[in-house]
Amino acid sequence: MADEDETKEYRWESGYEKTWEAIKEDDDGLLESNVADLVARAKRKRAALKATGAIQLGMMRHLFVVVDASACMFLQDLKPTRFLCVLKLLEVFVHEFFDLNPISQLGILTTKMKRSEQITVLAGNQKKHIEALQQLKDLSCEGEPSLQNSLERAMNGLKNMPAHSSREILVLFGSLTTCDPGDIQKTIKALKDNNIRVSIIGLAAEVRICREIAKKTGGTYNVLIDDHHLKELILSQVQPPAVAGSIEASLVKMGFPGGTPSVNDGTSDSSADHAPAYCLCHIDSETSSLMGPNGYNCPQCGSRYCELPVECKQCGLTLVSAPHLARSYHHLFPIKPFIERAQVPDTTHCFACAKLFVEAETNVYECENCHQIVCLDCDLFIRETLHTCPGCASDPVTAQMKTN
């Protein structure tokens, strides 16, 4: 990887490219066929990235998102401003993150005036994170950012997380400078020692220290081209990272708390079950208040919580709901890549969507278990969203073999 990074040319170092020559007219003088070919090529590229193999992914993620709130975020190269554009895209990211990682936790930090401020703590409630992002729209961007202070604060919140979960930091950095109080190399070493993965998205130009942080911690570093590219880079962080080879599989004890019944349903006679109590999620915050009778009680120690998933502060038990665990199953056992084959005359339509194959689709995709043929669009949909082969699911024989 180091040799590849060193030999890779920058855009301004490469030769002159006539990009307009990639678009050509067809026999009728139209560009539709050429545009369709470009779209199909982009889909094949996505499929090639997805078909790298059945890589085991982490089910439980702990991620801190660091947003640059320095003076440079008021620039209008991204509309309406860099800061507002980033906040809007982060709302989409939070929704997609918890949809794909339901038993993971996320926190938000900002950095300005050479300091770092925590906006939300690590939690699994996407609604509160989105509300916090919406309130940040009125924040004034000023001063310089501090990359080291942000990483130190995020590391303090991640280093005590359990070893079976992934620890990640995503930095959205718009400045070309950072004002740090100490040696950032010591911070990088501490991040690496605590197995914390740092990924950085640059909003201006490449900064050497950002690339070094991402490289040494096993993260990624990219610089945006435009707002569409920024959205693509941010949403690429939704997919869980591959589990490190040194991490061994281990059993994790989890609790499934039931919701406390309301006072009016008559299912419980004990007044103690309905007594208001402080939620341990927010008992340390300044805005903590008494909860009503509704909530979740830890099955091991009885502590009250207002949201799931969460780790019990009293006994350390991970509290989740059954639907959360079921939606994370495909990370542990991902679907095998389909085999790409040349289109055969005997197969005229896609098994999944029943769409007829056209001449432009030269390749089709076959499941190695049920041997059903699907098109490129369905292959991407199965891999990114469905996570189950429709041919295997509809065949009782292959479905039984999969469950066994």
Q: Return the pLDDT at 177.
A: 94
With a cut of 70, say whether residue 332 has pLDDT above it.
no
pTM of the model: 0.74
Q: What is the mean pLDDT of the segment spanning 123-135?
A: 91
Q: Which amino acid is at 13?
A: E
Nearest Cα neighbor of 91 from 31, 28, 51, 134 is 134
Whole-number Cα distances in Å, 242 to 54, 198, 236: 10, 14, 13
Q: Which residue has the higher pLDDT, 352 or 359?
A: 352
How far is it, in rounded angstroms, from Cα 91 to Cα 82?
A: 15
Is the pLDDT score of 91 beyond 60?
A: yes
Domains of the chain: 55-237 (3.40.50.410), 253-260+277-323 (no CATH), 333-399 (3.30.40.10)
Tell me the mean pLDDT in the region 113-140.
Answer: 92
Whether residue 322 has pLDDT greater than 70: yes
Q: What is the mean pLDDT of residues 227-253?
A: 78
Question: Residue 9 — pLDDT band, cuts 50, 70, 90?
Answer: low
pLDDT at 206 (0 to 100)? 93
pLDDT at 3 over 60: no
How crowded is the C-beta side of 221, counted as CA atoms within 13 Å?
A: 20
The rounded distance, in Å, linking the Cα atoms of 297 and 197 is 33
**What pLDDT sits at residue 302?**
85
| pLDDT of 272 higher than 50 | no
Overall average pLDDT of the 86-105 stretch: 91
Q: Which of residues 386 and 77 earns the better pLDDT score?
A: 77
Whether the Cβ atoms of residue 344 and residue 366 lie closer than 8 Å to each other: no
Q: 273 or 379: whose pLDDT is higher?
A: 379
pLDDT at 263: 38
Per-residue pLDDT at 14: 56
pLDDT at 401: 54
Confidence band, pLDDT 50/70/90 cuts, at residue 345? confident
What mean pLDDT comes out for the span 229-237? 92
Give mean pLDDT, residues 78-94.
95
What is the sign, positive or negative, of the torsion defined by CA atoms of 83, 86, 91, 94? negative
- 384 versus 263: which is more confidently predicted? 384
Q: Greater confidence, 72 or 275?
A: 72
Q: What is the pLDDT of residues 18-52, one digit of tens each?
A: 555 656 666 666 665 566 666 666 666 665 555 54
How far apart, in Å, are the Cα atoms of 28 and each of 20, 25, 36, 39? Answer: 19, 8, 15, 20
Provide mean pLDDT across the span 42-67.
68
Residue 170, helix vs strand vs coil: strand
Rounded to an integer, what distance in angstroms lies between the CA atom of residue 103 and that of residue 327? 9
For residues 288-301, average pLDDT = 72
Q: What angle do CA 239, 243, 244 make, to 5 degrees?
A: 135
d(CA 366, CA 379): 9
Rounded mean pLDDT of the chain? Answer: 80
What's the confidence (pLDDT) of residue 164?
76
